[in-house]
A = this chain, B = another copy of it.
Amino acid sequence: MVSLLLQDRAPGDSTASCDVVGAPEVPTATTSRTPATALGSRCADCRFHAACIGCAFRTALGFGGEPLVGYRRHLAANEVLFHAGARCTLIHVVQAGFFKTVVLSDDGAEQITGFQMPGDLLGLDGLGTGVHAVDAIAITEASVCVVSRARLLQANGESEELRQRLLAALCDEIRSDHGTMLLLGCRSAEERVAGFLIDLSERLAGRGYSACDLGLWMTREEIGAFLGLELETVSRALSSLIRHGLIEVHRRAIRITDMRGLREAVAGHAAHARHQRDA
């Protein structure tokens, strides 16, 4: 599963560590960078080329062929991309691997606000103020394409298409958050887990992956921190979905065997009752 998602990474990438402009935000021994000049052909090969807000504008803008993306950064699992409160000078596009974004309260409570997969933007919430509002942490080995915030803002003034895309990305984030709030506020534990799987499935399908065979790159604890549940409750909910014949689970791999049933499990008894009534 992981190798599938990392397929865009050329072998040996993680050993190429020639730094380019821009100080690393969180320098670590495991971090490495690929310079922009080497990215030229790579960007064109990237499966997200057309969708990528950083790559697609290299010709559209008056940057003399320079892409918005400055360089590509590789991260080990559990490595921090940026911390909440840190200055936001860079915007990232996930190129491979998975991330989580986390808000931490004063008293140590920890809420995961989202999981990001290849093609997703990271750090948009810091675009306005220039200060990050969340921690972003790689939950698998991962790589991101790095865009300077200042450059993105400049380009935002120059390209109508980029403005539309940026606006769309921000609105998507808001919509997605509203969907999560619906899960958190209105759903039982089992419904939340079912909804989480459906959402994951749809997002993966939208990126060309299988809609039924999902890897779960996050632990039960992380799923719980996203859904407002304890890890034991997540585990029980998954077991219940298995018993109902909706999914199969093998450690971190999940297969959705009854998509329709799983969708009904999200809406819960209300939808089930209505379905029976309408039939």
Q: How far is the CA of A140 from the CA of B79 in the complex (A)?
A: 48
For residue A61, CB closer than 8 A to chain B, the reply is: no
Centre residue among A167, A179, A181 by max chain B CB count within 10 A? A181
Within 8 A of B (CB), among A147-181: 153, 156-157, 160, 163-164, 167-175, 177-181
Within 8 A of B (CB), among A110-138: 110-111, 113, 124-129, 133-134
As a 0/1 sequence over residues 203 to 230 of chain A, the CB contacts with chain B under 8 angstroms (1 = contact) are 0000000000000000000000111100
Contacts A106-B267, A124-B174, A174-B174; A181 near B182 (Cβ below 8 A): no
Q: Which 9 pairs show the lowest CB-CB distances between chains A and B?
A: A128-B171, A185-B228, A107-B267, A184-B184, A109-B186, A128-B168, A107-B271, A177-B177, A107-B270
Question: Can you name 8 A-B residue pairings with CB atoms under 8 Å?
Answer: A111-B186, A128-B168, A129-B171, A173-B174, A174-B177, A181-B184, A185-B227, A185-B228
Give chain B nearest CB distance to A138 CB in angstroms: 20
Chain B residues whose C-beta falls within 8 Å of the C-beta of A108 in the assembled complex: 270
Would A181 and B178 count as touching, CB distance under 8 A?
no
Chain B residues whose C-beta falls within 8 Å of the C-beta of A156 in the assembled complex: 163
Closest to A168 in B: B128
Of B126, B167, B178, the contact of A133 (CB 8 Å cutoff): B178
Q: How far is the CA of A124 from the CA of B173 in the complex (A)?
A: 12
For residue A35, CB closer than 8 A to chain B, the reply is: no
Give chain B nearest CB distance to A41 CB in angstroms: 31
Would A107 and B175 count as touching, CB distance under 8 A?
no
